[in-house]
Structures are given as C-alpha cells and as structure tokens.
Amino acid sequence: MRRSILGKEVATISFTTLEMLEEANQAVVPILEIFELLKQYAPKNSMKKNLDFRIVLLIDGCLYIKRINEDSIVVFQNDLLVEFNKDKQYLFLLEGGLEQSLLQLMLHIKRSFHVVEFHSISLQAWNVTMILQVELGIQGNNVKEEKTNTSDL
C-alpha cells in the first residue's frame, strides 16, 4: 500500500463489494449510504462538473475518502487523527482542495474544538461545504445524526 500525506493507505473498497454485502445481508451498510450522499451534491451545471467533490469520513483514526468520479473508497490510517473522540464519527463534504489542506483542516479542528464553538470555525478557506458529526448506529433503516457539541469532542 502506498503512503501519502493523509497517512498510510490501508485499503481500497469498491462500491460493488459494498453493494453485494448489502444485498447478501439484506441490511443497510451505513458507509455505503453515507457515500451515496455524494451523488446528491454532484454538480448539475456544466461549469461545475470539473470540480473535485469528495466525501471524507473520519472513524477512529481512519479516513475513508470517496471522490465524485471514482467507484471506490480509499482508506487511510493516520496516527495524528486518533485523538478525535472515538465514539463519534466525522463527515466532511469537500469541494476541491488538496490532501495537505484536508489534513491541516482536520488538525485545526482537533486543536480548536476545545476553545472554539463548532459553528464559528471559518471553513471557507478549506473549501468545505459541510461537516457533520454522526453516529453510524442503525436505528430501523436510518443513520442517526446528531448536532455537534464541542464538549464531547
């Protein structure tokens, strides 16, 4: 596996594999549903079609990255990110940006959460469209979502 600024690449998971697991188990695969969100943000007008949209999911020190134009999820292990609350997962919707910017953003958030309100962190410079803190536990067929409470981070 290759190494990048995001950490050590530990796996590549194809969407086909996740869809087959979902079908075989007749159960929702939460990570597949989350990455399906990316389709909703696919640019509709031709001016934006070349933008690099991606969803990044941070779970227990691992980054799961899905780019809009790829059919797989790349998983990176990064020891710098393990200090995020392991009981929570973090979902980032990015528009453009480089790997360096993504890592700097996550480290900035990790340092800032204890002193800065979540909503007051300036995200425009990072090209972040949305950040959610989520719990991936399934209740019925829904993914549970919760508002960010900075004291829990």
All residues at 6 or more sequence positions from 2 whose CB lies less than 8 Å from its CB, including other chains: 9
Range of the domain at 123: 3-152
Q: Would you say 93 and 55 are in contact if contact means Cβ atoms under 8 Å apart?
A: yes
pLDDT tens-digit readout, 92-143: 767 665 555 666 666 665 554 443 344 444 444 444 555 555 555 533 333 3
How many distinct structural domains can be found in the chain?
A: 1
- Residue 35 has a pLDDT of 73
Q: Quick: pLDDT tens for 55-101.
A: 777 777 788 888 777 788 888 887 766 666 666 677 776 766 555 56
Asked if 63 contacts 81 with a C-beta cutoff of 8 angstroms, the reply is yes
**CA end-to-end distance (rounded Å), the chain:** 31
Q: Residue 90: its pLDDT value, please?
A: 72
pLDDT tens-digit readout, 4-39: 666 788 888 888 888 888 889 888 777 777 777 666
